[in-house]
Structure 1
Amino acid sequence: MLRENFNDNWKVCKSVAALDALFYPEKVQEPKPVKLPHDAMICSERSPEYPTAGGGAFFKAENLEYTKTFFVPKEDQGKVIFLEFEGVMQYAFVWVNGGFAGQHPYAYSNFYVNITDFLRFGEENTVKVIAKNGAQPNSRWYSGGGIYRNVKIIKGEPLHISMDGVMISTPIAESDRAVVEVRAKIENENLGFRCGWLKTVIRDEDGAEVAKERTKFHVFSEGTLTVQQRIYVKNPKLWNLDAPYLYTCESILESEEIRDKTAVSFGIRSLTLDPERGLQLNGRTVKLKGGCIHHDNGMLGAAAFEDAELRRARLHKKAGYNALRSAHYPMSKAMLDACDRTGLLVMDEFTDVWTSCKCDFDYGFSFAEWWERDVEQMVYKDYNHPCVVLYSIGNEIPEAGSPTDASWGRKIAEKIRSIDKTRYITNALNLPGAILDVVVPMMRAQKPESAGAKSGEINQVSKDMQQDMRSWILNSDILQERIEESCGVLDVIGYNYTTERYENEPKLSPNRIVVGSETSPAALAENWELVEKHGYLIGDFSWTSWDYLGEVGIGHFGYEDDKIDRFYGDYPWIAAYSGDFDLTGFRRPISYWREIIWGGRNHTPYIAVQRPGRYGQKPADGNHIWTDSISSWTWPGYEGHPIIAEVYSDAEEAELFINGISQGRKPVGDEFKKFYCQWDTVYETGEVEAVTYIGGKETGRFRLKTAGTPRLRVEKESESLRAGTNDLCFINIELADENGILNTAVQKDVTVSLTGAGILQASGSADPRTEENYYDTTHKTFYGRVLAVVRAGEEKGTARLTVSAEGMDSVVVEIPVV
C-alpha cells in the first residue's frame, strides 16, 4: 500500500467540550498551525501547582484538538484508505468529516484507523483528533502531549497486503547461506473470488537484486490469507553490532495488473539463548552493555524526530553501549530504525502497569480491555527490526507477586509467542514491589514517619527501605513463593536493582537466565564482574543512560543544606539528572568510567574533578548518584584550596601530575569503586595530568588545562537540511578560550535568533533545575554549554542562526536547506 507523509498543515488548540463551546464561546481558542510530530506540553508553562507534579516536571497538561483539511482525489474512490498514528498522548479520538472513525487509549502504541467510509472523494475532507491529556497525572515521568509521533495516510486497492502484513524472519543465517522466510497477509475487500501472485524481491543496500520468489494464491470475497515463502540468499552479509547490514524486501501483489506494493528493511541474523553461552548473535556471545531510556528528547520534549533518535543512538554507540531498553513503553519506530542502522540491540517494553494504576490516570484504566491489541501492535511494529532481541512484558509490576493476577503475565507472554517465536521474553521485576502487601506494613512498623511507609509508592519505598529489611525481603521464602509463577513464564528473568540475587539463581533452577533490567549507575563495576563471570547473566541496563524530563531530582546530590527527603525534587527541578548523557547529549564523567569498565578507550584514562565548593561535604546516598564532579580544571577563586581529582582507568596504577609535579602514584581501584582512584590535593591553575601504568609501563595519558578568557564557539552537527522534511540540525554552543578549552566556570546569558529557511525548534541548557523554557531564545549556560536545534523549513534556502552573549563577538552559523 502507498504510504504518504501526513504530518503537514495541522492546526491545534485546547479542546473544549461541545456544550461548553456552545454556551461559552469565549473558551474556544484560535487554532495554531503546527507540523507533526508535535509535543504541546513542552511549549506550556510550568508551576508547582499543576497535577503533573515532579513526575511530570510540573508542566501544564490540557486536552488538545488537532484538525487537518486535505483533498482526496476522485480517482481514489474504490480504494481502501487508512491513517496510521504512531503515537498520540493520550486517549485519542478520531473523527473524519464529523463522523467518529476510531479511538485508541494507549499513548505509546501505534494504531490504524480505516477512514474509507467517511471520505468525500473529489472534495476537501477534515480529520479531527482529540487527545485527552488533561487528566493528570497519567505517567510517572514527563509524558508530553498531543500527536507526538508521525502520522501517515495509506492508500491501497481492495486486494492488498494488510497493515504490517509482511513479516520476515531468518531461521538460517550463516556466512555462506541464509533462509529468509517471508509471511505476507493478504486481504480481499472485493466482492469476488480473486487469483493473484505474491512476488518478493530481496535487495542489498545498493539496490541490487540478490534473490526473489513468486507464489500464486486464490482468495475469497472479504477473505484473508497468508502467503509464506522461503527464499535462499547466498553469501549473505549478516547484521551484527559492528556491521549492521540491512536488506530490503519488496513485496509486490499482482492480480491482472499490479495491485499493491510494499517495501520493508530487515537484517539477516540469528539469535540463540542458553545458560552457558548466554545470548548469542550469529553464534557469538553478546553481553548486553545496556542503558534505559525514556522517550523524550530533552528540550524537544516527547516529539519523535528521526534525526533526534538517530543522534541518541549514535552517541550511545560511540560511548560503548550496545543495547537500549525502552522504559517503560514501546519504542518509537524512529528509534527502532536508528538502532537497526547503528547496531544497537533493543529490549522493547510493553507497559509500566497492568491492572493496578501507579498514577491516577495511567494505562491501568484501559489495560484489561486493550492489552491484547496493544501487544499485537508492539510485536507487529518490532517484528522486522533486527535490533529487537527482547520483549519486556512490564516494569515493576506489583501483580507479579499476586497468586491471582500473575496470570496476566502468562497471557501477555503467550500472546507475544503466538506472533513471534524468534525473540525472548522478560519482565523487569522489582522484588519488594511484588510483595508490597508485606513490605509496607514492615516499613510502617520500623519507620512509621518515612514517606515510603505513608505512601506505599515503590520508588519512595525503595529509597526509605533499611538495608537489613531489604536483605530479609530478597532472601525470604515468601518472596520466592510469590514470584515463582511470574518467573516461570519468562525466557529471561529481569531484575531491577537486585544484584544480590544473581549468584543464587542457578540454585533455584539450572535453566534460569537473568538480565539486570534496571540497575544503579554506580554499581556497574560489581555488576559487570558478575555478568562476565556467569553465562546465565546476559547483561546490565543502567538507569539511565540519557537524562530525561520528569522524575525530577532523583540524581540530586542532597548535601546537608540542600536535602530532598522525598524521591522527587521540588520545583523548579525539571529533569531527573541521572543520565550518563545530560539533556543536551553531552557526556557526564560516569559515562567514561562505564566505557572503561566495558573495555573501551584503549587504556586512555579520564579525569573528573569534584566541585571544590563542596569539599569535605558528604552527598546523600542514592541509587542514581555518582560523584559531584565534572571534567574541568577551571575553578577561579579556589586557588590554594583543597580539591578532589578523580582518575578512571583500567590500568594497574595511576599517577597524577599538577603542573608537572607528581602528586603520587596509586593503585587503581579503592574503597569507593573499582577502575577509580582519587587524590586529595590543592588546586592550582595550569594543567592536571593522569598517567597510567600496567606492569610498570605507561599505557595512557589524559590531561585537563585551565581555560582562559572565553569566547563563543558554535558548531553545527549537520551540513545541510532537506526542505519540507523533519530534518534537524543540532548546534552546540560553548564558552571556550582561544585554544578550544571549555570554560565551565563562566556563566553567560546566550541569545539565539534564526532567520531564513528554518525554524528554531528549541534551545536551552542541560541545567536540571531551571525556570527557563525551551521555547525561550535566551538561556544561561550550564557548565559552559547551551544547545540549539534548527528544523528544516518548507522552502529551500539558507537558515542563519545568530548566537550572541554580552561582551563577546556574535557568531553566525549558516545551514543550507536544500
Structure 2
Amino acid sequence: MKHYYLLIICLLFLGQNLSSRDRVSLNEGWRFKKLDSTEINHTLDYAKIKQWVLPSGNKFLVTSNKPQKPTGNLDGGKYAQYGYDDSGWRQLNLPHDWGIEGPFVQQYPGETAKLPWFGVSWYRKSLDINASDAGKQFYLDVDGAMSFSTIWCNGHFVGGWPYGYASYRIDLTPYMKAGEKNVIAIRLDNPDESSRWYPGGGIYRNIWLTKTNPVSIAQWGTFITATDISKERATLNLKMNIDNVNSAKDQINVKTEIYNVDKQGNPTGKPLVIDNTPLKLSGKESLLEKSLTLKQPVLWDIDNPHLYVASITLQKNGKAIDTYNTVFGVRTIEFKANDGFHLNGRRVRLQGVCMHHDLGALGAAFNYRAMERQLEILQEMGVNVIRTSHNPPAPEMLDLCDKMGFLVIDEFIDTWVVPKKKNGYAILFNDWHEQDLRAFMQRDRNHPSIIMWSTGNEVGEQGSADGIRISNLLTSIVHEEDPSRPATIGCDNPNAAFNGFENTTDIFGFNYKPHLYSKFSADRPNIPFYGSETASCISTRGEYLFPVDDDKSGGKIGFQMSSYDLYAPDWASPPDTEFKGQDQAKANAGEFVWTGFDYLGEPTPFTRDLTVLTNYHNPIERAKAEQALKEMGKIEVPSRSSYFGIVDLAGFKKDRFYIYQARWRPDLPMAHILPHWNWSERIGQVTPVHVYTSGDSAELFLNGKSLGKKIKGEYEYRLRWDDVVYEPGVIEVVAYKDNKVWASDKIKTSGDAYQLKVDADRNTMKADGQDLIYVTIEIKDKEDLFVPRANNLVQFELSGNGEIVATDNGDPTSHEPFQNKNIKAFNGKCLVIIRSIKGQTGNIQLKAISEGLKKEIINLKSID
C-alpha cells in the first residue's frame, strides 16, 4: 500500500511537470534604491566584470569558441545578498523610469533633457515559487533595462546584459528554490555621456518570469514566413527551435494549429490548418522545419492588417508539455530600384516618421495606451510606416503596428566602433554586436509590419574601408537570420552613396540628401533607395516670428522656433524641399521625417554653452567655472526637448501636421490656415498667411474680402499670401480641387480668456493600473473661441478611482516637473494624464480650475 501511494504521488508530480508553460508578469511590487555618489561600487564597472556578463549572450554567437563564466560568484555587495533587508526602500511597479521623476536641472545637458537619468540603481523583488514547480526551468525575461544590467538570484550572480535597449533572457534555474521565497536583485548602471538624446533610466519596459518544462520551444524559437502566395493558397514555412536542457532522447509529437486572431491576439474559431509531426529529440537543441498549406489566405495589409496565430503544442505520451503561440501575417514585400516599395504587388509610398522611444511626460517607461495614442495621431496624419530610431523598440510597439496596419523599419543601433559619445555603444560593439543583432532579430522577425532591418544610423565609418567591412558583416548576419527581408542603413555622408559603401546594404537610406536622389537613381540604377531621415524642420506650436524670413537658419524667437515651417538646421530643410526631391526622382521609395513627435533631449538649434561644466564634480569649483563663463557673456539655454516633431511633446498638432496630411492623404478634403489671428500689436502690418491643403487651389478671404485665388504650381506644396495686412476679424480659405469646392478653414480673432474647456481622448479605461486617459484643456473666450496666446495657470483636482500621473503643455523650455498637479497653458493648451488604479472600478471626476476663468468638470470611469 505504501508503494501504491508513492506511485500516485509521483504520477501527480509528473502530471504537474507536464503542464504547459507559464509566463507571469513580474511588474508589481519591486523595491527600488538609487545610489548616491558615496554608495556607488565602481568595482562593478562593466569593463571589470564583462567576463561575467558575456556568457549571457552565448546562445546568439555562431561560433564554438564562446565565453565561459568564471568560477565562483561575482560579489554584488550587500544589496545583492539574499537576506538583505530592503523594507526601507521605495516600493514601486514597473515599467519605471527614474529619470523622468526629475527634477530638471539647468546645468544638465539639454541634449539629454536636463533630467537625472544617469547613475546606479538597484531593484529587488521577492517571489514565492510553488513546490509543485520543482523540476521546472525558470527564466527571467527582461524587455528593456537601461542599462548595463547585472542580476543576482538568491545571492548568486546569474548574468546580465549591457545594451539598454535589448530584450534578453537570464536562466535562473540553478538557483531557484521551489517551495520557498526567492529574491531577484538587479543592478543598473547608467553612465553619463552615453546617449545623444534622453535614454531614460531603470527597468523601463516589462519584465516576466517564464516557467517551462525541460523540453520546450526555445526563447523566440519560431520563425514563420509565407511564400507562393496566391488567392487560393499560401505556403507557410515554419522553423521551430526546441530546447531539451536534459538532453533526453525522447519521442515527442509537435502539433501545429493555425487560427485567425481575435482582438487580443489569441486564437479564435476553428483551426484552419492542423499538422502533427513526430520528432526524436537528440542533444540539448532540436530544429524542426515544416511547410504547411494555408488555403484562401487573407493578406496582411496597411488597409486590412489581418493576422494569424500558429499555436504549437509539444506532446509527450499524449500530454501537452509546452504550448507556444506565434502571431504572424501573410504578405509580400518587394523593393524595386526603379519603382520604390511594393506591398502585396502594389506600389505603396513610404509615408514615414522617425520616432524616439520616450513617451513625453511619461518618459521612457513603456505604456501601451500611450504608444497607441501616438500611433493614432500619426495615422490621422497619413503615416503608414515607422522607423524605430535608433534602437529596438518595446515589443508591444510592434504588436500595435501589426494590429493597426503600420509598416516598420526596425533599427538596431546608432553607433558602431567610431564613438559619438564617450560611453556610447562603441564601447560594446566589438564584444556584443553579434549577440545584440541576432537576439533583436529573433525577437522581432515574425512581425508582418517589419519590412527592413536597419543596421545603423549615421555611423562614423561611412567613408572608410573599415566601414565597408563592418557593414558587410552586419548585412550578412541580417541575411542569415532573415532571408525574407532586406537590410538597410541611414547615411548622412554623401560620399557613402558613391564610394562602395552603398553596395554593403540592400536598400540605401539617405539622411537629408534630397538633392542626390536623381543622381543616385541614374548612377546606381540597381539599388533601391529612400529618405531614411528627412526635413528636420524645427518649430514650436503656436509661435510665429515677423517679418517672415525664408532663410532656413532664421525663425528664432528667444528659445522658441517660428511655426511657419520654413526653418531647419544647416544639414536639413523645410518639408517642401524634400517633397520636391522625391517628386523629381520617382524611384524614391518614400521618406521618414525627423520626427513624428517631439522628444526629450536634442533641442537643436539651441546648443548648450556651458558643456564644460559637466567636467566639474566639485560644487565649489563648478560654481567658479559657471561664474567665469557668465562673465564672458555665455548663458545656459533652458530647452529640455526637441523642436523637430510634427506633433509636440504633449501630443498637440503643430501646423506642420497639415502639410504632411495634405500630401499623404490626398483624398481627404482638408485645408489649414496659419498663423492664428490674434495680433492686436500688428494692426496695419504685413502678416503673411500660408495654407496647407489637399486641394489644388484656394481663395483667401479677410473679413469677407477676397485676397485672391492661388493655384499650386509644379513642386509647390503650400499656398502663400505674403502681403496680407493684418486686421482683426475672420480669415478664411476655400480650397478647390478640379474646379470644385473641396475644403475650407476659418479662424476668428478671439476675445480675452474666459473659460476652460476639457476634452478626453476616451471616457473609460480599464482598471488594470496601466490604462490611461489623456485630457486636453483649452483656454476659450466667451464665444467659445480658442485663445491662442493664453498662458493661464491651470490646477487639477481629481476624485474617484484614478490618479494624475503627469501634466504637460508642449513647451520645450518648461522646467516644471511632469508630476505636478498644475501647469501653465502654453499657447492656449495643456494636458493632464490620468491612470487607472488596479482593481478599483467606478467614477472619476476631474476639475480644471484657473483663477479668473470659468472652471470645467469632466466625468470619466474606470471599468473591468
TM-score normalised to structure 2 length: 0.81
Checking the alignment, whether the CA contact within 8 Å between 1:736 and 1:743 is kept in structure 2 is yes
Superposition map of 1:354-753 within 5 A? 354-431=416-493, 483-484=499-500, 486-520=501-535, 521=537, 522-532=573-583, 534=585, 536-554=587-605, 570-600=636-666, 602-609=668-675, 632-668=676-712, 674-694=717-737, 696-708=739-751, 709-737=753-781, 740-753=784-797
Shift of 1:760: 1.9
Q: Structure 1 counterpart of 2:851, which letter?
A: E
Shift of 1:734: 1.6
Checking the alignment, whether the CA contact within 8 Å between 1:802 and 1:810 is kept in structure 2 is yes
Q: How far, CA to CA, are the matches of 1:229 and 1:311 in structure 2? A: 39
Checking the alignment, whether the CA contact within 8 Å between 1:244 and 1:340 is kept in structure 2 is yes
Name the residue aligned to 2:257.
201
Q: How far, CA to CA, are the matches of 1:225 and 1:35 in structure 2? A: 38
Whether 2:100 is the aligned partner of 1:49: answer no
Deviations 1:488-520 (A, max 9, x none): 121101111112221112443321111110111
- Worse-matched range after superposition: 191-200 or 158-167: 191-200
Whether 2:79 is the aligned partner of 1:33: answer no
Task: Note the residue ranges of structure 1 that are not aligned, 5 or more in a row.
Answer: 433-473, 557-567, 610-631
Q: How far, CA to CA, are the matches of 1:205 and 1:533 in structure 2? A: 42
Aligned to 1:654, the other structure's residue is in SS state: strand
Checking the alignment, whether the CA contact within 8 Å between 1:293 and 1:325 is kept in structure 2 is yes
Q: How far, CA to CA, are the matches of 1:383 and 1:19 in structure 2? A: 38
Shift of 1:678: 2.5
Checking the alignment, whether the CA contact within 8 Å between 1:717 and 1:731 is kept in structure 2 is yes
Shift of 1:570: 4.6
Checking the alignment, whether the CA contact within 8 Å between 1:710 and 1:743 is kept in structure 2 is no
- Out of 272, 296, 306, the residue aligned to residue 235 of structure 1 is 296
Name the residue aligned to 1:804.
849
Q: How far, CA to CA, are the matches of 2:782 and 2:272 in structure 1? A: 54
Q: Structure 1 counterpart of 2:153, which letter?
A: V
Shift of 1:173: 2.9
Q: How far, CA to CA, are the matches of 1:233 and 1:181 in structure 2? A: 11
Checking the alignment, whether the CA contact within 8 Å between 1:651 and 1:694 is kept in structure 2 is yes
Name the residue aligned to 1:293.
355
- Out of 97, 110, 122, the residue aligned to residue 65 of structure 1 is 122
Aligned to 2:261, the other structure's residue is in SS state: coil
Shift of 1:377: 1.6
Q: How far, CA to CA, are the matches of 1:333 and 1:37 in structure 2? A: 13
Q: How far, CA to CA, are the matches of 2:105 and 2:827 in structure 1? A: 25
Q: How far, CA to CA, are the matches of 2:666 and 2:153 in structure 1? A: 54
Alpha carbons of 1:116 and 1:741: their partners in 2 closer, same or farther (altered >3 Å)?
A: farther
Name the residue aligned to 1:620.
none
Q: How far, CA to CA, are the matches of 2:273 and 2:682 in structure 1? A: 68
Q: Structure 2 counterpart of 1:731, which letter?
A: V
Name the residue aligned to 2:839.
795
Deviations 1:149-174 (A, max 9, x none): 11111110001000101111111333
- Worse-matched range after superposition: 205-214 or 386-395: 205-214
Name the residue aligned to 2:141.
84
- Out of 307, 316, 319, the residue aligned to residue 246 of structure 1 is 307
Q: How far, CA to CA, are the matches of 2:668 and 2:856 in structure 1? A: 39
Alpha carbons of 1:303 and 1:600: their partners in 2 closer, same or farther (altered >3 Å)?
A: farther
Checking the alignment, whether the CA contact within 8 Å between 1:635 and 1:745 is kept in structure 2 is no
Q: Structure 1 counterpart of 2:686, which letter?
A: P
Shift of 1:639: 4.2
Deviations 1:365-398 (A, max 9, x none): 1111011111012111221111100111100001
CA RMSD of aligned residues (A): 2.4
Q: How far, CA to CA, are the matches of 1:171 and 1:162 in structure 2? A: 24
Checking the alignment, whether the CA contact within 8 Å between 1:792 and 1:817 is kept in structure 2 is no
Whether 2:830 is the aligned partner of 1:779: answer no
Shift of 1:93: 0.9
Name the residue aligned to 1:168.
224
Aligned to 2:815, the other structure's residue is in SS state: coil
Q: How far, CA to CA, are the matches of 1:529 and 1:367 in structure 2? A: 38
Q: How far, CA to CA, are the matches of 1:34 and 1:13 in structure 2? A: 10
Q: How far, CA to CA, are the matches of 2:584 and 2:302 in structure 1? A: 22
Checking the alignment, whether the CA contact within 8 Å between 1:397 and 1:429 is kept in structure 2 is yes
Name the residue aligned to 2:570.
none
Checking the alignment, whether the CA contact within 8 Å between 1:400 and 1:406 is kept in structure 2 is yes
Deviations 1:401-424 (A, max 9, x none): 211343111111111111101111
Q: How far, CA to CA, are the matches of 1:311 and 1:383 in structure 2? A: 24
Deviations 1:198-227 (A, max 9, x none): 11111113401222211110112x421111
Alpha carbons of 1:19 and 1:428: their partners in 2 closer, same or farther (altered >3 Å)?
A: closer
Aligned to 1:680, the other structure's residue is in SS state: coil
- Worse-matched range after superposition: 143-152 or 731-740: 731-740
Shift of 1:669: 5.2
Whether 2:861 is the aligned partner of 1:815: answer yes
Shift of 1:586: 1.4
Deviations 1:747-805 (A, max 9, x none): 11111233332232211110011121101111111121111112221222234333221
Shift of 1:665: 2.3
Name the residue aligned to 1:447.
none
Checking the alignment, whether the CA contact within 8 Å between 1:757 and 1:794 is kept in structure 2 is no
Name the residue aligned to 1:317.
379
Q: How far, CA to CA, are the matches of 2:671 and 2:41 in structure 1? A: 64
Aligned to 1:307, the other structure's residue is in SS state: helix
Superposition map of 1:176-215 within 5 A? 176-206=232-262, 207-208=268-269, 209-215=271-277
TM-score normalised to structure 1 length: 0.85
Alpha carbons of 1:601 and 1:652: their partners in 2 closer, same or farther (altered >3 Å)?
A: closer
